[in-house]
Amino acid sequence: MTDHNAIHRQEDSLVIDTHTHLGLEEFIVSEIPEEKLKLPAFQERQEHRVDTLVLAMDRNGVSRAVSFPFPLAEIDPILANQYVLDSYRAYPARIIPFVLLGDDVDHWLKEGAMGFKQHPLLSPERFDLDQIYPCLAEAKVPLIAHLSSARGVSVTEQVRHILSIAPRLKLIVAHMGRRVINTEEGVEDNLLGLQHDERVYFETSTVRSPNAIARAIDLLGEERVLFGSDNPFGSCDSSDPLRDEIAVVRRAGLTENALQRVLGKNLLTCLGVR
């Protein structure tokens, strides 16, 4: 099991990235369908080495990063998850390891996972979610969930369903639940729908709207918004997407206290680090 005390609070200017991907293309063990390759996320390489991530973090003053594999149904999840955990062991003060959600939660908790990632591309419904979600809650580790309303079920409804199964689970809504990449489309509905549920956090990556972040603070308070970058995604359009995502948060007009919370302190609270 992971010693959560290994993650220490540092200076007030601490910056932690709640959403980064790690992995190697060699973990892709089956062919990706053509229709999937047309999606925006697949216009970039599905590879990001830990050394490259750490260099980007150093360049942008990021102390730590939550990292998990690329969410591909075509990867070998054991190799992908293990790479993240090996990256944590290589950089224990920099990487916070999350792994892909599956039926093997107990195994990855014993290996040191500090949280789990759910994504629709992984078809999570093929797992026994009624058993998985309570296991995460019992282990007191958060779930970061990329939730899509494409099938006609709103993000709010999906979150409420998950929490009805696991009432003590801490759930992080990836990308603030936005519908279209680099926009705030749908975010307002999600904030209003989950405004009063303190178990739910909103992560800011690929929203690219200072107004949406400011609105989240207005509706949720300072404690439930988490900075994330989705690094390395965005590298097709920018030489430094991590820099750009940090800049969006800094342009939101937050108080210094709120800014410090969003950029790092709130994630430590979510992880149960005091």
- Tens digit of pLDDT for each residue in 63-100? 999 999 999 999 999 999 999 999 999 999 999 999 99
Q: What is the pLDDT of residue 110?
A: 98
Domains in the chain, number: 1
For range 241-261, the mean pLDDT: 97
Higher pLDDT, 126 or 89: 89
Which CATH number do you get for residue 208? 3.20.20.140
What's the domain range around 114? 4-271
Q: What is the pLDDT of residue 149?
A: 86
- Considering the entire predicted model, what is its pTM? 0.94
Residue 267 has pLDDT above 90, yes or no: yes
Q: What is the pLDDT of residue 274?
A: 55
The DSSP code sequence of 115-166 is: EEEE-GGG-GGGS-HHHHHHHHHHHT--EEE----TTS--HHHHHHHHHHH-
Residues 20-57 have pLDDT tens digits of: 999 999 999 999 999 888 887 788 889 999 999 999 99
Residue 4 has pLDDT above 70, yes or no: no
Among 78, 80, 270, smallest CA distance to 169 is for: 270
Q: What is the pLDDT of residue 10?
A: 45
